[in-house]
């Protein structure tokens, strides 16, 4: 249970104000250092949990505050404004690992895994991608095979896993094989990574989001327990993976919006203090035009992001009917937000001129970090395929 409590009628607004204060104190002074050191401090997960960040969309009965999807997106946006690496590692734990548990887990699984991640005591991750299968989930080769004693032996390799070297728990998508060798279909299995037959690769060197560790995990007939480790049911892994993509794409839009807001804030500050030809550079029309473009990008991405978040929250709470267009809307949002955010970082660096090319300025880190937004959670090309498929069916 979070130790963060509020009594205001407008709890979401007050929470977000308090969370910004938290980010100012606990994230802002250290984000550049974490990026340079290629790691986050171990205690940041507990601090985020204690301030209530992990529990925003979690049910009250499981220890959350259930403030809703809109509040959750705005909190993700805030955290991303200060440190994209912290956002990604935190989201991999309570989001990519936690959300499938929340939706598909048994009560016993939620008590053991979900609650411990929610409190920041443990760290989770999700392992889908393999060296030979990226966007093509159906091509996965990792196997989870029952032996004659009913135990599951996991064999294979996963890559590009956020939190790979620091996680305690993992959800793995694998082909479930019965004792006779029959393929039972893609299935999610839950496991603890402290296992002698599970290896972890050295964290990869990345272009951006450097403090959020990413790497490989190897399974060499690792005994992960019995059928109680199956999440959601035999053969339901593919469907469950697809079901969580909408939430992931919405959260990535929140990340993009946070980066855009940071770009505008940094650019406004720089344009006020930097002088050229005897006056602040914002007074030159060329720079003013770039600032106007940044503001327009911010407002357009915010409008679409909040619209999708409100619709998703209404459906989750039963106040709005189910929307069959939601996969296409989330794909369009993710595609639009990520490409616009990339342009925003480009503009911010341009406003800073030569200074923007230097690592001492935040816009350089934002420029590096945002590139993953067009790749993670499905590439822009995958999003356009989803959108086109919906348009043609309509």
Cα distances (angstroms) measured from residue 241 to each of 71, 170, 310, 371: 24, 14, 22, 23
Let me know: does 258 contact 16? Beta carbons within 8 Å: no
- Residue 2's pLDDT is 42
- Residue 137's pLDDT is 81
Other CB atoms within 10 A of residue 250 CB: 25
Q: Any residues with CB less than 8 A from the CB of 80 and at least 6 apart, and which? A: 87, 254, 255, 256, 257, 258, 259, 262
- Residue 134's pLDDT is 72
Compute the distance between CA of residue 209 and CA of residue 90 in angstroms, rounded to an integer: 12
The region, left, alpha or beta by phi > 0 then psi within -120 to 50, assigned to residue 20 is alpha
Other CB atoms within 10 A of residue 223 CB: 15
- Series of mean pLDDT values for 10-residue runs along the chain (394 residues): 41 92 98 98 96 96 94 98 98 97 97 96 97 82 97 98 98 97 97 98 97 98 98 95 91 98 98 92 95 98 98 94 94 98 98 97 98 96 96 88
- Residue 10's pLDDT is 63
What are residue 257's phi and psi, to 5 degrees? Answer: -65, -40
| Residue 268 burial (C-beta neighbours within 10 Å; 0-12, 13-18, 19+) | middle
Check: pTM over 0.85? Answer yes or no.
yes
- Residue 1's pLDDT is 36
Pull the structure tokens for residue 169. 């728990």
Other CB atoms within 10 A of residue 85 CB: 26
What are residue 386's phi and psi, to 5 degrees? Answer: -65, -45
Q: Which CATH architecture has domain 126-235?
A: Beta Barrel (2.40)
Domain ranges of the chain: 11-122, 126-235, 238-393
H or E element, residue 17: helix 11-26
- Residue 133's pLDDT is 81
- Residue 136's pLDDT is 79
- Fold classification of 11-122 is Butyryl-Coa Dehydrogenase, subunit A; domain 1 (1.10.540)
- Residue 142's pLDDT is 97
Q: Which CATH architecture has domain 238-393?
A: Up-down Bundle (1.20)
């Amino acid at each position: 249970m979070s130790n963060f409590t509020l009594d205001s009628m407008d709890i979401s607004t007050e929470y977000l104000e308090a969370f910004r204060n938290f980010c100012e104190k606990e994230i802002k002074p250290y984000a550049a250092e974490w990026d340079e050191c290629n790691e986050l401090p171990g205690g940041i997960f507990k601090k985020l949990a204690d301030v209530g960040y992990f529990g925003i969309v979690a049910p009250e009965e499981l220890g959350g505050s259930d403030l809703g999807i809109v509040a959750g997106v705005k909190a993700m946006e805030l955290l991303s404004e200060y440190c994209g690496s912290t956002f990604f590692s935190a989201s991999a734990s309570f989001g990519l690992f936690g959300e499938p548990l929340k939706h598909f887990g048994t009560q016993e699984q939620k008590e053991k895994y979900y609650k411990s991640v929610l409190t920041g005591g443990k760290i989770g991750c999700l392992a889908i991608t393999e060296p030979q299968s990226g966007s093509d989930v159906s091509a996965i080769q990792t196997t989870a095979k029952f032996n004659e004693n009913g135990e599951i032996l996991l064999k294979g390799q996963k890559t590009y896993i956020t939190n790979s070297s620091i996680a305690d728990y993992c959800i793995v998508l694998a082909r479930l094989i019965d004792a006779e060798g029959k393929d039972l279909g893609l299935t999610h299995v839950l496991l603890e990574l402290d296992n002698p037959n599970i290896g972890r690769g050295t964290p990869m060197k990345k272009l951006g989001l450097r403090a959020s560790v990413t790497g490989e995990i190897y399974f060499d007939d690792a005994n992960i327990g019995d059928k109680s480790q199956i999440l959601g049911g035999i053969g339901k892994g593919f469907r469950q993976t697809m079901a969580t993509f909408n939430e992931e794409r919405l959260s990535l839009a929140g990340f993009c919006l946070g980066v855009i807001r940071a770009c505008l804030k940094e650019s406004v500050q720089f344009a006020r203090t930097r002088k050229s030809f005897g006056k602040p550079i914002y007074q030159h029309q060329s720079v003013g035009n770039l600032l106007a473009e940044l503001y327009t990008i911010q407002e357009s991405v915010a409008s679409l992001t909040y619209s999708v978040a409100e619709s998703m929250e209404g459906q989750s709470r039963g106040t709005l009917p189910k929307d069959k267009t939601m996969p296409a809307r989330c794909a369009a949002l993710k595609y639009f937000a990520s490409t616009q955010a990339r342009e925003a970082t480009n503009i911010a660096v341009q406003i800073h001129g030569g200074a923007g090319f230097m690592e001492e300025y935040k816009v350089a880190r934002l420029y590096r970090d945002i590139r993953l937004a067009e790749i993670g959670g499905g590439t822009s090309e995958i999003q356009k395929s989803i959108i086109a498929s919906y348009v043609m069916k309509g």
